[in-house]
Amino acid sequence: MQISLSVMIYTVSIGIYLFALVGVGIYKTKMVKDSEDFMVAGRVLPWYILVGTLLATWMGSGSLFSGAGLGYRNGPAALWSSAGAWLGIGLIYFIAKRIRNFGKVTVPDIFEIRYGRTAAILATITTVIAYLTIVSYQFRGGGKVLSMVSDGNISLEAGIIITAVFAISYTVLAGMFSVVYTDVVNGVLMTIGTLVALAFMIFNIGGVGEMIDIARESGKWSLFGNWSSERVGEISGPVIAMSFFVPTMLLLMGDANMYQRIFSAKDGGSAKKAVFFWIIGVIILESSISFLGLTGSVAAEKGIMPDIVVESQTLVINEAAQSGQLPTKEAMLSARQAGSESVIPAIAKYGGLPLIIGLLLVSTMMAIIVSTADSFLLIPATNLTRDVYQRYINSGASEQQIIFISRVLVLLLGLIAYLLVSQFKTVLNAAFTAYNIYGASLTPALLAAFLWKRATKEGAVASIITGASITIIWTYFLPNWSRFGELHPFLQELTYPAASLSILVLIVVSILTPAPPKSVYRQFFNDSGNI
């Protein structure tokens, strides 16, 4: 098989980039002197470094594939999903100092001190499950990028393995130090790459006016776009849009990556300043990615590049025809979502971008994916090290033992995440399963620790169990119930019952149980840095 020059350049450049990441990890190992260096970068990070790592961590393949795919299918209305994160960051801004002044290492640390050991254990379990799901679709996203840009010379499976090996390797080496400093570079790269590619694509399709006209004709230039077509059945666009908005908001406000990075800030002021500029960066990047997805849709309608949704659905139709059947609505919807999620790699390949811009966009894709994978690997490894190994297995462990166990856990969890790759058909499906698991289970009690003095350990435990139980039931059992489709639309969307009941249980049980003593909650309401 003959390989084109551009394909060769793309593939080699990605290889160089990935090896460079490992090189950074090797270099940063000399900075790891103790476990705090590995887990929270020694708590010395200035605000501008924090901005880069917060931005790069949040912008993962969920944005790159599902966000761009939503933009392809819904136009600017795709931003209903992203806006949940924007609101979440805005709310976190007001308690960033409190979080940093609390000065611990992990989210289960917060649950342990505020709500007790049971809540901490439940928080650890939930974090591991949700975050490994997120890591798994980062690996799939990297595999998809490598397969597409190499014209299939690198298979999807091989691409997944390559992404996993590199992401695991450099996270193992230096922990948070390697993560945050590569994140800064990745953050700059993804910002430049996305904005430049968007500008070129708008030019290629005939300008902003042409983009708006074609998007309007296809129903993609309205408040809720084509959101009603995101589900099988009679569910309104606003109901579906809010079911994306809410879990994104809840995940962001409870995201252990964010808390661990805020813990890494040199002081409370740096943490608050970093959060302020973080929200600006997220708004710019997520909007750009959604509009980049829309330009891909417009380019397909104008014949500039293939219609990836049509291609994906044609495969489903052909597979069904071979067995003498018609494809189901569910299969066609899944194909629509899966096909559109490849829009940014398709733009890099078919969008008519100059080679250097295509190369920048491809590098951006890998930067986004790897920066998210490393962080979501480090967090559960840190949780298990501190909240299981140090507490229950070896309370007298030396700093070197703790670092060694942390590295072993990064490796093992990375392997588990790799095994989970096949469990979800699309990035969108995996992303919102993880968002709901974490957001409904942990975020209500986590925010209450810093915002509601009356929250009790009984209320927190009940809230976590309620959120997790409903998520599991709605995800794995109810869809198989023959009368599931007869439920009210709000009940068909997992977000609503899971989040609302978790919050309700937290409030009711807390009110019905004895209030916590001042000595327990006092340190969670510290804005000055002094107890």
Is residue 482 situated within a structural domain?
no
| Across 231-251, average pLDDT | 81
Res. 332: pLDDT tops 50:
yes
Non-local (6+) Cβ contacts of 347 within 8 A are 197, 201, 292, 295, 296, 299, 305, 353, 361
Query: Rounded to 5 degrees, what angle do the CA atoms 363, 368, 370 make?
Result: 90
pLDDT score of 389 more than 70:
yes
Question: What is d(CA 513, CA 500) in angstroms, rounded to the nearest whole number?
Answer: 20
Residue 143 lies in a domain: yes
511 has pLDDT over 90 = yes
Residue 302 has pLDDT above 90, yes or no: yes
Burial label, 205 (beta-carbon count in 10 A; 0-12, 13-18, 19+): buried
Query: pLDDT tens for residues 96-143?
Result: 888 887 767 678 888 998 999 999 999 999 988 888 888 888 898 888
Asked which of 49-53, 101-105, 292-296, 461-465 is least confident by mean pLDDT, the reply is: 101-105
Contact (Cβ atoms closer than 8 angstroms) between residue 17 and residue 371: no
pLDDT: is 134 or 509 the higher one? 509
- Between 412 and 359, name the one with better pLDDT: 412
pLDDT score of 293:
94
Contact (Cβ atoms closer than 8 angstroms) between residue 364 and residue 194 = yes
Q: Rounded to an integer, what distance in angstroms lies between the CA atom of residue 64 and that of residue 243? A: 20
DSSP code for 265: B
Could you tell me if residue 439 is inside a domain?
no
pLDDT, tens digit (0-9, with 9 covering 90-100), for 193-223: 889 999 999 999 999 999 999 999 988 898 8
Does residue 471 form part of some domain? no
Distances (CA, A) of 8 to 145, 190, 364, 370, 476: 14, 21, 17, 21, 43
Quick one: pLDDT at residue 44?
Answer: 67
Question: Range of 121's domain?
Answer: 5-426
Tokens standing for 484?
């599931």
Rounded Cα–Cα distance for residues 38 and 472 (Å): 33
Distance, in Å, from the CA atom of 456 to the CA atom of 515, rounded to the nearest integer, reads: 6
In a domain, 109, yes or no: yes
User: What is the predicted pLDDT for the residue at 242?
Assistant: 84
pLDDT at 71 over 90: yes
**pLDDT at residue 359 greater than cutoff 90:** no
Q: Which of 271, 262, 293 lies closest to 73 in space, CA to CA?
A: 293
* pLDDT score for 79: 92
Whole-angstrom CA distances from 92 to 82, 267, 275 are 16, 16, 8
Nearest CA to 35 out of 413, 410, 405 is that of 405
Lowest average pLDDT, out of 45-59, 68-82, 341-355, 471-485, goes to 471-485
Query: For residue 277, how far is the Cα from the chain centroid?
Result: 19
Tens of pLDDT along 402-433?
A: 888 988 998 999 999 998 887 776 666 777 77
Q: Are 65 and 492 in contact (CB under 8 A)?
A: no
Q: Is residue 105 part of a domain?
A: yes
Q: Token pair for residue 85?
A: 């994160």
Q: Would you say residue 416 lies in a domain?
A: yes
Do the beta carbons of residue 526 and residue 267 sit within 8 Å? no
Backbone angles phi, psi at 482, to 5 degrees: -60, -30
As a whole-number percent, the residues of the chain with pLDDT over 90 amount to 25
When pLDDT is cut at 50, 70 and 90, the band that residue 1 belongs to is very low
Q: Which of 293-302, 430-439, 479-488 has the highest mean pLDDT?
A: 293-302
Instruction: List the end-to-end C-alpha distance of the chain, in Å, as a whole number.
Output: 68
Residue 45 DSSP SS3: strand
Strand partners, 121: none
Q: What pLDDT is stored for residue 529 in this prediction?
A: 56
pLDDT, position 531: 46
CB contact at 8 A, 302 and 223? no
Residues 106/112, Cβ–Cβ less than 8 Å: no
Per-residue model confidence (pLDDT) at position 466: 95
What whole-number distance in Å separates Cα of residue 476 and Cα of residue 489?
A: 18
- The arithmetic mean of pLDDT across residues 72-78, rounded, is 91
In the predicted structure, residue 232 carries a pLDDT above the cut 90: no
Helix (H, G, I), strand (E, B) or coil at 476: helix
Domain CATH number, residue 241: 1.20.1730.10
At a CB cut-off of 8 Å and minimum separation 6, what does 297 contact?
71, 72, 73, 75, 215, 218, 220, 340, 343
Say which residue the tokens 């608050």 belong to: 272
Question: CA triplet 319, 321, 323: central angle to 5 degrees?
Answer: 80
Tokens 């829309």 -> residue:
294
Q: Could you give the angle at the alpha carbon of 504 between the alpha carbons of 502 and 507, nearest 5°?
A: 110
Q: What is the count of structural domains for the chain?
A: 1
pLDDT in tens, 84-102: 989 989 888 988 888 887 7
Q: Comparing 73 with 528, which gets the higher pLDDT?
A: 73
Residue given tokens 């590199």 in the structure block: 166
Please compute the mean of the pLDDT values over residues 336-346 and round it to a whole number: 87
Q: What is the pLDDT of residues 178-201, one digit of tens each?
A: 667 677 777 787 788 889 999 999
**Residue 343: inside a domain:** yes
**Average model confidence (pLDDT) across the chain:** 83
The most confident of the ranges 27-36, 229-238, 488-497 is: 229-238
pLDDT over threshold 90, residue 398: no
- Please provide the size of the chain in residues: 531
pLDDT band at 488 (very low <50, low <70, confident <90, very high): low
> Does position 456 have pLDDT exceeding 60, yes or no?
yes
